[in-house]
Amino acid sequence: MFKKIAVFIFSGLLLTNIYGCLLLAGAAGGTGTAVWLSGKLTQEVNAPLDNAARAAKVALKSLQLEVAKETTEQNVVQIISKYSDGKTIWIDIHRITEASSKIEVRVGAVSSDKEAADKILKRIIRYL
């Protein structure tokens, strides 16, 4: 009898632990935290590709930066701009689903500027 109770309690703890991990993983995936990877700041957003591209252009304009080039394809939009010091800004927006997109921001060709990329990404998020 004691063995059955111990197995039941252990099973309950194990099940709680597994569900807790799944809930934490789900919560972390939905928060939209920006990730710095390979010189790009990346964040998934709950916005269609067109809305994210429009927000990126408005964000650049609000920072007094002009769009130098915009390339649009079916599932990706690339916007290129330049800072006054000559650093190039690349904003790539990828369609994930009809209602969500992934925004990637890189500032600088040789050594990327994480602080500047973060400033631009936050401004884009503000205009979504």
List the domain boundaries for the chain.
1-31, 32-126
Give me the mean pLDDT over the 44-57 stretch.
96
List pLDDT tens digits, range 55-109: 999 999 999 999 999 999 999 999 999 988 889 999 999 999 999 999 999 998 8
Please check the confidence at residue 20 and state whether its pLDDT lies above 70.
no
Pairing mode, strands 35-37 and 76-82: unpaired
> 52 or 12: whose pLDDT is higher?
52
Distance CA 51, CA 48 (A): 5
3-state class (DSSP) for residue 61: helix
| CA of residue 41 relative to chain centroid, distance | 7
List of residues 6+ apart from 44 with CB closer than 8 A:
32, 96, 100, 101, 102, 103
Strand pairing report for 67-72 and 35-37: unpaired
Q: How confident is the model at residue 9 (pLDDT cuts 50, 70, 90)?
A: low
pTM of the entire predicted model: 0.71
The superfamily (CATH) of domain 32-126 is Kinase associated domain 1, KA1 (3.30.310.80)
Query: How far is 75 from 50, CA to CA, in rounded Å?
Result: 10
